[in-house]
Amino acid sequence: MKALEVYRDQISPIFVIPKEYLEPIRVQVPKLIEEVFREGIEQEKIEEVDELIDKLRDYIDTLPVFRNVKDSVTSGLTAFSSRNFRSAFITLLNAVEGVVREMFVMQGLGGANEELPTMAEKLRSEKWIRAPTENLIKSLDREKADHALYGEHSDFPETTSRLVILCLLKIARDYVYFKVLRRCLTEITKNPTYSRFRIGELLSLMHDRRKLHVERTFRDGRIFLIITLFSRDVFEFESTGPYWNTVKLLSSKSSARARR
């Protein structure tokens, strides 16, 4: 992504692209976006766009953060399936902005008039999305100079449309993950060893794997979390979709009293 940062610096804030930089941008940006997309696909362990779409449809029907953008997502996916990639990109980008605002307001983090990067940063810091998702959301911000390049050239609108689909799926998965994680941590605080902890305190430990480490697995409409606290106490949970409202403790190994 370093090359993209270089080109971003070469584009003025008012979207005036110096002529001497125009050709390198045309050549390099499509390749860079394709690389970002492929990296994201590998991270999500999804190889086919049909799988992306199917999994996203499962979420938009059940997650409350999609309630106000469900029609937009459906329309965007229909446009994508019809190979109207430019329309799909614009429609799904509106859905990204809408679902981020919905999540931001729903969690009591502020009003709906905040800028997209600010909301993404706050959602990440409050443990509702992960850092890669924050970065992807920011890359789609309409105020960024290089955003003018997305979907504007006939040789790569399909890739950029896939990028927005991937972004929506990552937001949905992060929301489910952190929703389930909070419920698991609530169960852990019922253990006498951890009863003095609040959920926010436990979440704040995530920056240090030695204090709080989480392994997650999605499988067959279920999510499995293995939570290790202070490198000693291990709790394994299961939650079942599509609503992810309950968690089940599968096993626990508590070896010693926790220390802050």
What's the pLDDT tens digit per position in 186-224?
999 999 999 999 999 999 999 999 999 999 998 888 999
Q: What residues contact residue 112 under an 8 Å CB cut-off, 6+ apart?
A: 101, 104, 105
Rounded Cα gap, residues 131 and 135, in angstroms = 6
Is the pLDDT reported for residue 17 higher than 50?
no
Q: What is the pTM of this model?
A: 0.79
The backbone region for 250, taken as left when phi is positive above 0, alpha when psi lies in -120 to 50, beta otherwise, is alpha
Q: Give mean pLDDT, residues 138-160.
A: 64
Q: Which of 61, 134, 70, 76 is nearest to 102 (CA)?
A: 70
pLDDT score at 231: 93
Is the pLDDT reported for residue 118 higher than 60?
yes
Q: Which of 158, 137, 186 is nearest to 34 (CA)?
A: 158
pLDDT score at 47: 44
Rounded Cα gap, residues 254 and 260, in angstroms = 16
145 — pLDDT class (breaks 50, 70, 90): very low
pLDDT score at 258: 43
Q: What residues contact residue 184 under an 8 Å CB cut-off, 6+ apart?
A: 225, 227, 235, 237, 239, 247
Q: Give mean pLDDT, residues 93-117.
A: 93
Helix (H, G, I), strand (E, B) or coil at 89: helix
What is the H or E stretch that residue 57 is in? helix 49-60
